[in-house]
Copies of this chain bind each other. A is one copy, B any other.
Amino acid sequence: MTTQTSIDLRHKASLIEAQWSPRVVAEMNDYQFKVVRIEGDFIWHDHQDTDEAFLVLEGQLRIDMRHGSVLLGPGELYVVPRGVEHKPYAEKEVRLMLIEPRGVLNTGHEGGERTAQNDLWI
């Protein structure tokens, strides 16, 4: 018997050097689990081809949408439906996990300087 290794999500998030730089920690079929540290405002974007799940690990996240917003604390989950414009915001740093299909860009199809390199692992 050997012992396999679990993935400590908060520890993984603590290893990321820069904010707004998602890092893959595991895969499930063609989906990826990514951890990220964010603070401040992101850009409005959507994902035309997929829903996107947010699970907060530490801190408080607000997801603004055109029709409202949602507040997420530690242990809270929200799924942004495909095609729904959204803008993550955190007054102070929040650490969270994203779950989405492999290949999804953080800025959707908006592009620009806020687009992070994809498929980097930690």
Contacts and interface: CB of A to CB of B under 8 A. Distances in A.
B71 A26 contact: no
- Consensus secondary structure, chain A interface: strand
A6 to B, nearest CB: 4
Interface of A: 1-10, 25-29, 31, 33, 50-53, 55, 57, 63, 65, 67-73, 75-79, 82, 99-101
Given A50-B29, A53-B26, A78 B3 contact: no
**Number of copies of this protein chain within its complex:** 2
Q: Would you list the 5 A-B pairs with minimal beta carbon distance, nearest first?
A: A2-B68, A4-B70, A6-B76, A7-B77, A28-B51
Nearest to A8: B76
Contacts of A82: 29
Nearest to A82: B29
B51 A4 contact: no
